[in-house]
Structures are given as structure tokens and as C-alpha cells.
Structure 1
Amino acid sequence: MGRSFRPKLIALLAATALLAGCSNRSADGPVNLTKGIPVGAVLALTGNANVYGQDQKIGIDLALAQLNGQAISLQIEDSGSDEPGANAAFNLQINRGVLALIGPTLSQQAFSADPIAQRRGVPVVAPSNTATGIPEIGHFISRVSAQSSVIAPLSIAKALQINPAIRRAAVFYAQDDAYSTAETVIFQKALTNKGLKPVTVQRTQLNDQDFQNQITSALSKKPDLIVLSLQAVDGGNMVRQLRELGYRGMIVVGNGMNTPNIYPICQKYCDGILIAQAYSPELKNPANQVFLAAFAKAQSRNPNASTIPPQLTAQAYTAMQVIGEALRRLDTQKPLKSLTVAAARKALMDEILGGTYQTPLGTISFTPIGEVVQKEFFVAQVRMNPGGRSGRFALLP
């Protein structure tokens, strides 16, 4: 099982150019099974989204261990947290002859890199891209991450159930991020449908650290609900600054903050925020029990690590599981050694879309365009532990 990490974009670009120039693996040639079935992952392991990529790597590694006996040769590439890095990593993996890709981490990256895989006929299973329009990029693009339009309204409904007296909502989102700009539209529509047209909409940037101007402007409108569509780092800082500047009302956050990596950022101020989720560690299905046991065993090596897996780890595990099970079915029907790379990729995509999978997320399948079909969703509230450095997502009834 290979590992390749290139944290610097220049190295990725150079390697991609070299491989493209020498046609390392022609799609018309046979599948190279010398080291196992080639599968690639492209994750944000560096940059401001590395908190997501690190969670995802854990999930992929755990799923790969469960797929023992399948001889999958996994190559992981670090895309960084931007679009050029994702594009370079996709090209690098495709030129290696991988039959499928997991990733990229961010929706912003997916809108840039997925068309590369689509043009070259390479199946993509996205573990964390929730923005509207991802599967519509093309036939070879799918995702196991439920789209924001399904998830986000649930947390708004729960906030109003907890406090029916809410009347004034303020909205914040990062205007330079595809996930944030897509999710905020969904949040704002959900608010309007509940008779809560936002009293203010504040725009930020992904790399912002000081939000005093936006917060001061928003608090002047006296909101009793604040809704954030931000990534983990800027979102965690926003929550902390909101509380420090005196806001005491309810806070709803989007999927970008669906990671325990927010705890060290907003610390004690994370307590009480609401978030809708596509995964619950409390699910009793057999696949989740296997996943939970594997995660707990892996985390036991670090006495300070949580044994409760986050959603991003569960979704990445599911993405690897889907590809592994689809490969197993395909190899039984049409031995991979008898196929060209292009034919194997096309047949694998058909297998992915045609399957039903028992996963930690519950039973899932795909629509013909690659959208995940999932039945169970949840809303959680963050409960911070004494000391304010760790906590958990506590499911709400």
C-alpha cells in the first residue's frame, strides 16, 4: 500500500508535468496490477483545510484495513487547500493509472478538479463535497456526502423548536468559498420559509481572522439567532469573537464546522452551537459497529485522542468502502486483468452507481447522476468538557 505526500504545490506541478509528458499510464493499456488495484485519494493535508483532510485520511486508512484481501494499492496525494493543488494532484493520480479517486476535500476544489476526472473518464467518489451541483459535473462524479440542501434546513428547524421565540436572524458566510456561498443560500431560504427573513447578511473571506466590523454591524440589529456558513478555522474564530463581543443567543453552523477540530479554536465558546449531521456514532447498524471498533482501536494509541469518530472520518471511510465493494463485484464479473484502464474505469463507475451499500452512515445508494441516497440525518449540539479544550457533538431528539 503506497503513500505519497507532496505538501508543496511546486512539487505536485512538476511531477504532474513530468508524468503527463512521458504518458506514464495510457488509458488504452492494461490495468497494472503489479502492486495491487490502483486507487487514489486527493486530500487537503496542508493549508487551512488540513483539519478536514487529516480526519479523512484516518477514515480511508481504516476502511482499507477492513478491505483486507483485496490487494488495493492506495496512493494519497496532498492537494493543499486550493484549486491548483487539487488540479495537479488529480492529474498526477490519473496519469498513474488509478481506477478511481476519493476527494478532493473541499467543494471549491471539486468544481475545479472534478472536470479533469470527468474529461478523462475516471470515477470520483467525493467524501465531503456538499455544495449544490457537484454530481452534475458529469457521469463519473459521485458523492457520499449529502448535499447541504438536505442537511442545512434541519438545524434551523431544531433551533426554532428549542426556542420558538426567535424572531431576528443574522447570517454570515465566506464569499470566496463555493461551499459557503452555496450553503448560505440554503440557510437563508430555510429562514425565510420559517418567516425569518435575515435582518443582516455579513460577508467574510476564508483567510479572515478578525471579524469585529462584521460582528459589530450584525449585533446592532439585535439578532437572537446567528447562522454561519464558514469553514472550521474561520468559523471557530467567528464563534469565539461573537461570544467575546457579547452575543448570548443561539448559533447555528453549517457543515464546514462539522469537525472536533473546531474545539481548540473556539474552545469554551463552542458550547451550545447547533449543527445538522449526516452521521451519528450512535447508529446501531453492523457496519457502524465495525467502524466504531476500528476507530477506537486506532485512537487508543493516543491517550489524548477522542474515541468518538467525526462525520468526515465516517464519510471518508464510506467512500473507500464503496470503491472497494464495487471493485470486488466488478472483478468477479469482468476480471480487471482482462480490461484496459479506460474500460475498467467505465465499468467501475457503473458498478458504483448500481450498488447498495451497508455503511457507517446507514444504507446508501446513488441516483443515476451520482447523488447519494441516504435516509437518516441528525442534529447535534456541541457540549464542551470542563477546561474548554475538548467536547462532543451530542445528538438532540
Structure 2
Amino acid sequence: MFSRRIVTKLLLSLFTFSLIVACAQTNTPDQAASTGSSGGSGATGNAIPIGVAVAQTSNVALLGQEQVLGAKIAETYFNDQGGVNGTPIRLVLQDTAGDEQGTINAFNALITQDKVVGIVGPTLSQQAFAADPVADRAKVPVLAPSNTAKGIPQIGEYIARVSAPVAVVAPNALKTALTINPNIKNVAVLFAQNDAFSKSETETFQNAVKEANLNLTTVQKFQTTDTDFQTQATNAINTNPELVIISGLAADGGNLVKQLRDLGYQGSIIGGNGLNTSNIFPVCKKDCDGILIAQAYSPELDNPINKAFREAYKSQNQKEPPQFSAQAFTGVQVFVEALKSLDNKTKLNTLSLEQLRSELNKEILAGNYETPIGSIAFDPEGEIQQSQFYVAQIKMDADGNNGRFEFLK
């Protein structure tokens, strides 16, 4: 039988050995390099975390779900290409839902808990005006994938966007409508008054109508949460418009289109960027046919990165990729390419998380990028510099259940 002294020595030896092994496993060279000395580069598990804060639930989900698809395709694509000079990226998704507080909560979680290097999001401009200041104060770069309202990049030095402002894109749809029907004289406008983007977009549309010397017959307001538009639709129809312009989201906008047609309106319809999704098809079905929507993306753009994105999207979803997915892909791409460029200058694992976020923001604004939405860059305020725009018309199948965006020349 062992003496108590011998047993004690054996137990101490086993404990010491276990402690050494545990320390060795905890502080491997790879992990030390990925975490850095002061919070590190934000990388965990030898992957660089990039936040994606978009609306996966609520009445905005029809748009946000398309953004998730685009971002995930980018994650797979760029990791297959070697990530950031050999280090993979890892998307961290947070659901903003459809309101401002949900977006603020999502941003805070990504910044303080997930320790992302930057954020792609949010879905709505209304959400951006509430949550972007949180990121800007924390000095975390944000790339807006679909915030096109006036004033987004001016929120702060860490805020940029890969979504062209509505003032640049929207008037193209009106020009196309007048080309298709030169006899348009009267125009009725309807917009969601509780959504910052829709309010900004309708101002652009109304100014374009006046500049074209058309008669703005009425301006009708609604809420993005509305389902009954009988009053607004009737008031618009009573002014005998040849063109109706709608600024809203997919669900409310699609229902408004349907109720306009149900009440007998047969003229042209322009949809704003919120209707720029194939998820509108199940909402207005056959009545979606003919809607004109200005686009900042075309699946037919002939460059290598768009071809790769388009093929990946079609193989997963059996349809052409929409603008919201392309812009989310572009947001992730800009982060990856800026991280590569920064790593070539200063190894990321030598920077604290705070340093990395700050230097990454500078690198983003200094870069030029060949993306699915074309060649882009940023001005010093973070406004996208993009030259290629399009107009598409919805063409529904005979059964009214499926359709496509047909790009007009």
C-alpha cells in the first residue's frame, strides 16, 4: 500500500502535467496569431468575422432574405479563393427584423460580443439612420447594401454604401416609362410615409415628374404595415393618371399594385427600389406584370466576378440573382479585398481589433473594386461611385405564379 506522502506526490505530479498540457493546447501559435494582444484582429478559430445585419424576419424579410443569400455566396466564393491571403472569413449573421431598435441591438451584438471587423447592413435606410451612429461611435466600418436614401454616407466617417443613391437611380425608370408611352401626362404618386427610404425616393420621383413637365395629380400616403389600400388607390384612380409611381416595400407595394388593378387601373406603374425583388411575385401575381423598376444591377453584366456570382446563385435558387443579393455579395467582397490589401501592408495579426477596424475603413475608401454591380469606388465621404444602371420590366408567366425581370435596352 502506498504511503500518504507518495500518493500526494503522485496527485501533484498528475495535476501539474495536466495543467501544462491544457496551457499548451490553449496557447497554440495559430490561436495567438489570430487573437492578437489587445482583443486581436477579431479573428476566432483562425477566421476573420464579418458581420451581416439584415432583416431576416418581419415585413422586410422579403428583402433581407435575398441579402443573406448573396452574402453567403460571397463567403463560400472568397473562402474557396483563399480568403484573406490564406485566412478564411466567417460571416456572423444578426437579424435586425424590421425596426430601428432591432437593428441597434444587432449592431451592438456584432460590435461588442461577436467582435466583427466590419458590418454589411442594414436592410432599410430607416434602420441605418438609427444604428449606423452606433457603429460610427465605436469606429467600426459599415457597408450599406441597400440604403439609398439621401444622407446615409454623411452619418459618419465609418459609414459607406455599395447601393447607389435613389436620386441617381430612380429617374431612369421615369425616362423609360415615357419612352414606352410618350402620351403620359398625368402622374399619381403613392409612398410609405413611415419609411425613410420611401420618403426620400418619392421626393426624387416627384421632382423628376415636375422636371419632365408632367402633371402630378395626387400624392397619397400609406404605412408599410398597411394591407388595405382601397382609399389611396381610389383617390389616385380618380385623377385619371396614365402613370402611377409607388415607393414602398415588397409586401405593401405588391398589395397596392394588386388593389389598383382590382379597381380597374390599366395604366403604367413604376415601382421603387423596395419592390425590386422577385419575392413580390407571390404578392401581386399576374398584376405584377409590366411594372417598371430602375436597377443598379443586371445579371447580364459581362465581367468574371458577376459570371461566378450569377452561376452560383442560379445553381442554388434556379433563377436569376436579384439586385439585393448582388449588392450584399458586393459588400462582403469589398471587405475581403480591403482586408487583403491591408494585410499586404501590415499583417492583420499584428493589429489590435481597434487598430484593424480603423485601418480597414481607410483601406475600403481608398480601393477600386470590380464587382457584380460593375466597377465601383468611393468618394471621401463613403458615397459609392458607380456608372452602370439599368431598367427592368416585370414579365409574369401566363399562370401568374412566376415571373422574371426583363432588362430593357
TM-score (norm 2): 0.88
- Between the aligned partners of 1:178 and 1:330, the Cα distance in structure 2 is 35
Q: Which amino acid aligns with 1:50?
A: A
Q: Secondary structure at the match of 2:216?
A: coil
Q: Give the structure 2 partner of residue 317 of structure 1.
A: 329
Q: Which amino acid aligns with 1:229?
A: S
What do you get for the CA RMSD once the two structures are aligned? 1.4
Q: Which amino acid aligns with 1:328?
A: K
1:73 CA drift (Å): 2.1
Q: Which amino acid aligns with 1:82?
A: D
- Between the aligned partners of 2:314 and 2:233, the Cα distance in structure 1 is 39
Which of 44, 58, 64 is equivalent to 1:47?
Answer: 58
- Between the aligned partners of 1:377 and 1:218, the Cα distance in structure 2 is 29
Q: Does 1:344 align with 2:356?
A: yes
- Deviation digits for residues 153-184 of structure 1 (CA, Å, limit 9, x no counterpart): 00011111111111100000011100110000
Q: Which amino acid aligns with 2:221?
A: R
- Between the aligned partners of 1:263 and 1:117, the Cα distance in structure 2 is 35
Structure label with greater radius of gyration: 2
- Between the aligned partners of 2:37 and 2:99, the Cα distance in structure 1 is 27
- Between the aligned partners of 2:388 and 2:202, the Cα distance in structure 1 is 22
Report matched runs for 1:16-165 at 5 Å: 29-35=39-45, 36-68=47-79, 69-70=82-83, 71-95=88-112, 96-165=114-183
**CA contact under 8 A between 2:75 and 2:90: conserved in structure 1?**
no
Q: Secondary structure at the match of 1:380?
A: strand
Report matched runs for 1:253-264 at 5 Å: 253-264=271-282
1:27 CA drift (Å): 11
Q: Give the structure 2 partner of residue 281 of structure 1.
A: 299
1:33 CA drift (Å): 2.6
Q: Secondary structure at the match of 2:270?
A: strand
Which of 360, 364, 376 is equivalent to 1:364?
Answer: 376
Count of matched residue pairs: 367
- Between the aligned partners of 1:101 and 1:143, the Cα distance in structure 2 is 11
Q: CA 1:166–1:26 in 2, change beyond 3 Å: closer, same or farther?
A: farther
- Between the aligned partners of 1:82 and 1:368, the Cα distance in structure 2 is 29
- Between the aligned partners of 1:240 and 1:79, the Cα distance in structure 2 is 28
- Deviation digits for residues 217-249 of structure 1 (CA, Å, limit 9, x no counterpart): 111111111000011000000000000000000
Report matched runs for 1:228-247 at 5 Å: 228-247=246-265
- Between the aligned partners of 2:37 and 2:62, the Cα distance in structure 1 is 34
Q: Secondary structure at the match of 1:169?
A: strand
Q: Which amino acid aligns with 1:189?
A: N
5+ residue gaps, structure 1 = 1-24, 300-305
Q: Secondary structure at the match of 1:210?
A: coil
- Deviation digits for residues 114-145 of structure 1 (CA, Å, limit 9, x no counterpart): 00000110000111111111001011001111
TM-score (norm 1): 0.91
**CA contact under 8 A between 1:27 and 1:342: conserved in structure 2?**
no
Q: Which amino acid aligns with 1:332?
A: N
**CA contact under 8 A between 1:42 and 1:101: conserved in structure 2?**
yes
- Between the aligned partners of 1:296 and 1:380, the Cα distance in structure 2 is 19
Q: Secondary structure at the match of 1:118?
A: helix
**CA contact under 8 A between 2:185 and 2:215: conserved in structure 1?**
no
- Between the aligned partners of 1:326 and 1:26, the Cα distance in structure 2 is 20
- Between the aligned partners of 1:376 and 1:317, the Cα distance in structure 2 is 17
- Deviation digits for residues 242-287 of structure 1 (CA, Å, limit 9, x no counterpart): 0000000000111000000000000000000101000001111111
5+ residue gaps, structure 2 = 1-34
Q: Give the structure 2 partner of residue 12 of structure 1.
A: none
Which moves more between the two structures, 29-38 or 192-201?
29-38
